[in-house]
Structure 1
Amino acid sequence: MGLRQSAWAQSPLAQAMLRAAVSVFFTVNEWLEEKALLRYVSVSFLVAVAMMPGCAIARAASVLQPPAVTTVLPDNTPGLVLVKATPAAWAEVDRFNPLPAALRPPLTVPFLPAAIDFTQDIQPWLGDEVALALVPTAGSIAGSVLQTLDASGVLLAPIKDRDRFNSFLTKLKATRGEPQIEREYKGVIMLQWSAPTEEKPSTPAAPASTTQRQVPRSLPRQTLSFLPQSTVLQNKAVKPKPELIVPPPIAPPESEPSDPTPLEPPAPKGLAIALLPGAIAVAAQVHTLEDLIDARSERPPLAQNPLFQRTWQQPQTERSLLVSYGEVAAIAKFALTIAKATPEATLSLFGLPSLFDESRLTALTKLYNTVDSRMWLEPDGIHSQANFYYTTPQPDLATRVVPDANQLLSRLPAATYLSANSRNFKQQWQRAIAAQTDVTSQLAIASFRNAVRIGTGLDLEKDIFSLMDGEYALFFFPATGGLLNYFHPKLNLGVGLMLQTSDRAAAEAVLKKLDQAAKKDSKGEMTIASRRLKGQPIISWEGKEKGKVLSILARTWVDNNTLVITTGAEPLAALTPKPYLPLHRNYTFQTAIASFPTPNEGYLYVNMGATLAFFYNLILPSVPSAEKPFVQEFQRLAGTIRSVSTTNSTTADAQRVDSLWVLAPAKQPK
């Protein structure tokens, strides 16, 4: 019987090994997701404004001055993203291959109508950093966040040219229509447009108080368009917020279609603007701005918050195009609220229920107090960095200085498509297990242990992971022959695993037990052969297909404590005793890690050029002609990325993740 239909392929041992591999992947993946949860939340804020143009930061003496918008926000602001706001700061992006016009900045500005053009209508009056922030909600001066971005999101922009700002406000009113409500709230002019679906006929509202009054429509435009700080009312009385009454909607002309077509933009949401001294605040709901004004009048500014100052004074902040900051407890609460309002089927579709487990989020809020991230340009591409700050110092978790760290890179081939290397998996697993406090994760781990015990007769931690106390690397590289090449003639791919151990004898004993279990479970269809490869002894798991011997798994010791396992003897030949050209001397790899901190915990590295070429050769011949234009556009965009790499490191105060996207330079005109 052929190997593909063999009893081995369907045997309990093979299935247990497959389940074990899948369980390891998802368990470690969930752990990494937990570590990266706050980063993902932070990134979700960045996406909204990531393509907006930006501007330089002012610096006084040796201390980097906080941006003007942080003097408007209260010190308990749960989270914000700061974006530089002049073209000069973003001009360096043109050194790299350009994005398509539809994806180039600026995109639609949050909250404002699509007809508002950033370059023409906003940029001329804009100064310093723009902020997209979550603000504390009504009745929560102590600090919390509303349930939706619409209810808590605010866009803050400093105003450097009042005349041009007035022109922008005039165009906004011409585009959106005159605001239904123009009034003062605690001395701040408020403009409000209701969403069309919320516009209902009503009786006229009674006149409001002096602090919260309905501003007459006849008020001079120059007064409404921008009130200088000297004219802002100083009345600080706090009264209940009035119900906002709006006039009935104007019926559209009969010639207009009653039903929107798929090409029409979505109906505009509500829009509210507060004209603060020297700045404009924009939100989807007027109560959000009132909450901001309430908190601002009762608390110190965010610029004085020591935790935000720690973020702002990081070394790379001044050159960063984007900087984000968030309170972990508030963001976790916000994420949990959104998750609870999301249908469980939707969360399950993306494998997210365990990620938003309440006990897991609670554990995160105890371990970390704030998180920040930033993005800046390097000579070769885009560098991003995220920091997760401990609530109390954790010196035991700090990355240690290790002589000859990442030495396994010298044994990986230069042509590696993807590699992930680190060290002391034994310790990493123990920390990961300790972090799994939710019942779902604990049951999954118990099931994983049981599957390994049934399939191999080995104890997962005591027999296997206890031996993985040195460096390790998982990598994919070009290779002919072996297991994967058998399944598809163009799948010229080898998968390798390298492990260092301090107890080779114990490792050998475990490997022999696996050999015996595999041979027994295959019912004689697989043999365990001892062979020599380039003069070195190897062990090969072999089956037969149409009378031909096929090595499906092979291993050898390349030194006294380093084990190499690959998908067959032929792929192993490229690594024994060492590759002809090692990865650590490869220029693409050196560029990918050059800006990373040391010491670190290892690297995740993708050679995009080689990886894409592999997939193109495998997939493109079968692509239908109708899909080729799309594929060609994807090739053009993906071809601008040379490599993607990430590393993580830890100090006593924070965990840090650095990533670098190396981009192809733009072609210079001859």
Structure 2
Amino acid sequence: MSAFKKVLLPVAAIAVVVGGAAYWFMKGGPIDSSSPAASAEVVPDEALMATFIASDAKGWDQLQQFGTPEAQKFVGQGVQSFQASLLKGSQLNYDKDLKPWVGNVMVAVLPSASEGTQQSDTLLVVGIKDKVRALAFANQAKSQPGVQTQESDYKGIKISATTQKDQPNSTIYSAVLSDRLVLAHKKATVEQAVDTFKGAPSFADKSGAARLMATGVDVENPIAQIYLPNYGTSVKQLIANSPQASQIPPQSMQQLDQVESLVVGVGVDDSGLRVKAKAKAKPQATAMQYKPVPGKVVAAFPTDTIALVTGQGLKAAWTTMVEQSQNVPQSQIVVDTVRQQLQAVNLDADKEVFGWMDGEFGLGAIALNQGVLSSVGFGGVLVLETSDRATAEATLTKLDAIAQKNFMRVAQRNVDGKTITEWKLPQQESVLGHGWLNQNSLFIAVGSPLIDGMTAPAKQPLDQSAAFKMVTSSLAKPNAGYFYLDMDKIMAVMNTSLLKTQTSSITPETTAMLNSIRGLGITVTQPDKTTAQVEMLLALKPKAVSLK
């Protein structure tokens, strides 16, 4: 796509001129080129994947309502620079000459049409939403310098080969197919699009693709949608066609084959940028293990939590990995390594570690400004629910003994009626502590202030905080847990701790973008037995909010 970035729109302009602007303009009435299915009508059915990018102003205008003034400034400069690079060497203006007629865009990846090469081909389908403005632009583009064009006829359709004189390897082939302009680096790819336009099987006719485009994913103001109707086959071929990609072992390929299709939607709503990805498994695939998480563990964390991962059933996850390790070498390496490392300290990974972790869990990073970890800026807390407290306590007793043998001082104390076990370095404060929040909930905290803080119910629990609600309240429920980031608190930690030395390498543009983000929330749901959906919200600050 990098080559397309440099010459796409200038070439599109010339293509409209020499590709027969009068031909498509004088042909019959307009067709609906505004939908993914309409664009897919000229994409060959062997396409591995297709991405539909909406030019509708609603979604993009909504996105412009977010961001700090600094971020708005950098984004505006970036857009202007991008538009200028597209039209470099011409007297054309993007907003005046191109934007009025350029419609939605579909980018399709096809198997190579050339013999002797595996590299995938890319086909662009650009909707023409205003024929009159496009024809006016075509007439204006005729006088642009530095462009050489040759025409050829293919089944009654003119194909234009356009080359910039100072870039002899930049040839783009294009043709106008009714209300759509198709472009590719290879003539054979454009010819395939013409064949499809003339009646050959299209991506829109493909059963899996047609279903994906008809159902899609539910996002407000969609700005992009990605379709992979034959997920396993497409991913394998894309990997095979990419010289830089690492080859996947046969066992992993078999796992890819269990996924039938994938569709991704990107939209903009009042909260920010939302992404939903829906994967459908093949009927014969191994049944997915899914159990909604109650979400009670979130309340055990304080409001100054900067990052959190929650879920349920580490025991089941470990069991699944052990089963997969019989056929997947990479999983076998992980399983063997974990078992060996724990066996070295006389712990059985299957029984004494993962065997009792059958309830909810939460792993969080919490901001700290006191204690030995204050220079780092945060500590950590792990909360585990179990139905087998006896085994959990036996494991903790073993761990305490190991700590004592390694120069740690292990001692117990009573805090608000709860027995807390602490690990201390000689002449130092506690670095780790563990105890029970209730009959079934264990906590392990790293950082002295957090040990004391976890013994009593949080005065301001995370699940009641405005930041957490804002990021997670609109995510699908019930779900398998959350991945949560509070970007304001993360940036505060980075600016006041040892991590500040790392921020010096971050550009002002990146800092401005990060300061425009409120938080990130991700969750997974299972609408039915064969479908898994991932939802991500990048919560953004309204542009009226400025970070001080």
TM-score in terms of structure 2 length: 0.83
Counterparts of 1:603 and 1:300 in 2: how far apart (Å)?
Answer: 42
Q: Does 1:125 align with 2:111?
A: no
Contact 1:527 1:542 in 2 (8 A): yes
Contact 1:69 1:156 in 2 (8 A): yes
Contact 1:179 1:191 in 2 (8 A): no
Larger Rg: 1
Q: Does 1:325 align with 2:232?
A: no
Q: Which residue of 1 aligns with 2:495?
A: 616
Counterparts of 2:416 and 2:468 in 1: how far apart (Å)?
Answer: 28
SS of corresponding position for 2:302? coil
Counterparts of 1:623 and 1:364 in 2: how far apart (Å)?
Answer: 39
Give the C-alpha shift of residue 156 in structure 1: 0.4
Contact 2:100 2:133 in 1 (8 A): yes
Counterparts of 2:201 and 2:269 in 1: how far apart (Å)?
Answer: 36
Q: Which residue of 1 aligns with 2:452?
A: 573
1:628-667 matched pairs, under 5 angstroms:
632-650=508-526, 651-667=528-544
Amino acid at match of 2:269: E
Candidates 77, 83, 96, aligned match of 1:102? 77
Contact 1:553 1:568 in 2 (8 A): yes
Q: Deviations over 1:123-144 (max 9, x none)?
A: 22233x311111354389xxxx
Counterparts of 1:389 and 1:106 in 2: how far apart (Å)?
Answer: 40
Give the C-alpha shift of residue 104 in structure 1: 3.7
Q: Which residue of 2 aligns with 1:288?
A: 189
Q: Which residue of 2 aligns with 1:449?
A: 339
Amino acid at match of 1:542: K
Q: Which residue of 1 aligns with 2:277?
A: 386
Q: Deviations over 1:274-299 (max 9, x none)?
A: 22122110112222212333455464
Q: How many residues align?
A: 512
Aligned-residue sequence identity (percent) comes to 22
Counterparts of 2:200 and 2:220 in 1: how far apart (Å)?
Answer: 27
Amino acid at match of 2:272: G
Counterparts of 1:529 and 1:101 in 2: how far apart (Å)?
Answer: 59
Q: Deviations over 1:188-233 (max 9, x none)?
A: 210113576995xxxxxxxxxxxxxxxxxxxxxxxxxxxxxxxxxx
Counterparts of 1:448 and 1:561 in 2: how far apart (Å)?
Answer: 25
Contact 1:317 1:323 in 2 (8 A): no
Q: Deviations over 1:43-87 (max 9, x none)?
A: x99x989xx9xxxxxxx9xxx975421222233321111111133
Q: CA RMSD in A?
A: 3.5
Amino acid at match of 1:637: M
Contact 2:305 2:366 in 1 (8 A): yes
Contact 1:400 1:599 in 2 (8 A): no
1:244-259 matched pairs, under 5 angstroms:
none
Give the C-alpha shift of residue 452 in structure 1: 1.7
Q: Does 1:517 align with 2:402?
A: yes
Task: Indicate how the Cα distance of structure 1 residues 587 and 48 shifts in structure 2: closer, same or farther if over 3 A, else same.
Answer: farther
Give the C-alpha shift of residue 579 in structure 1: 1.3
Q: Deviations over 1:424-467 (max 9, x none)?
A: 0111223344445443442243123212211x211212221111
Give the C-alpha shift of residue 110 in structure 1: 11
Counterparts of 1:470 and 1:543 in 2: how far apart (Å)?
Answer: 32
SS of corresponding position for 1:549? coil
Counterparts of 2:88 and 2:529 in 1: how far apart (Å)?
Answer: 46
Amino acid at match of 1:657: V
Counterparts of 1:332 and 1:476 in 2: how far apart (Å)?
Answer: 35
Task: Indicate how the Cα distance of structure 1 residues 506 and 620 shifts in structure 2: closer, same or farther if over 3 A, else same.
Answer: closer
Contact 2:220 2:267 in 1 (8 A): no
SS of corresponding position for 1:559? coil
Counterparts of 1:623 and 1:388 in 2: how far apart (Å)?
Answer: 37
Task: Indicate how the Cα distance of structure 1 residues 568 and 123 shifts in structure 2: closer, same or farther if over 3 A, else same.
Answer: closer
Counterparts of 1:157 and 1:613 in 2: how far apart (Å)?
Answer: 44
Task: Indicate how the Cα distance of structure 1 residues 401 and 638 shifts in structure 2: closer, same or farther if over 3 A, else same.
Answer: closer
Contact 1:394 1:652 in 2 (8 A): no
Counterparts of 1:91 and 1:515 in 2: how far apart (Å)?
Answer: 58
1:6-155 matched pairs, under 5 angstroms:
66-97=36-67, 98=72, 100-104=75-79, 107=82, 115=90, 117-127=93-103, 129-138=104-113, 147-148=118-119, 152-155=121-124
Q: Which residue of 2 aligns with 1:374?
A: 265
Candidates 300, 305, 312, aligned match of 1:416? 305
Amino acid at match of 2:309: A
Contact 1:551 1:569 in 2 (8 A): yes
Give the C-alpha shift of residue 157 in structure 1: 1.1
Give the C-alpha shift of residue 319 in structure 1: 3.2
Amino acid at match of 1:421: T
Q: Which residue of 2 aligns with 1:306?
A: 207
Counterparts of 1:178 and 1:606 in 2: how far apart (Å)?
Answer: 49
Give the C-alpha shift of residue 332 in structure 1: 1.4
Give the C-alpha shift of residue 270 in structure 1: 2.1
Q: Which residue of 2 aligns with 1:159?
A: 128
SS of corresponding position for 2:380? strand
Structure 1 moving runs of 4+ over 6 Å: 109-114, 195-198
Q: Which residue of 2 aligns with 1:202?
A: none
Counterparts of 1:179 and 1:186 in 2: how far apart (Å)?
Answer: 23
Counterparts of 1:301 and 1:370 in 2: how far apart (Å)?
Answer: 17
Counterparts of 1:286 and 1:171 in 2: how far apart (Å)?
Answer: 25
Amino acid at match of 2:432: L
Contact 1:110 1:155 in 2 (8 A): no
Amino acid at match of 1:449: R
Counterparts of 1:103 and 1:468 in 2: how far apart (Å)?
Answer: 49
Task: Indicate how the Cα distance of structure 1 residues 457 and 639 shifts in structure 2: closer, same or farther if over 3 A, else same.
Answer: same
Give the C-alpha shift of residue 660 in structure 1: 0.5
Candidates 180, 183, 186, aligned match of 1:279? 180
Amino acid at match of 2:336: A
Of the structure 1 ranges 323-332 and 583-592, higher mean CA displacement relative to structure 2 is found in 323-332
SS of corresponding position for 1:124? coil
Give the C-alpha shift of residue 480 in structure 1: 4.7
Q: Does 1:500 align with 2:500?
A: no
Q: Deviations over 1:362-401 (max 9, x none)?
A: 2233211211111112212111111111122769426335
Candidates 281, 288, 297, aligned match of 1:397? 288
Counterparts of 1:506 and 1:562 in 2: how far apart (Å)?
Answer: 13
Structure 2 residues not aligned, in runs of 5+: 10-31
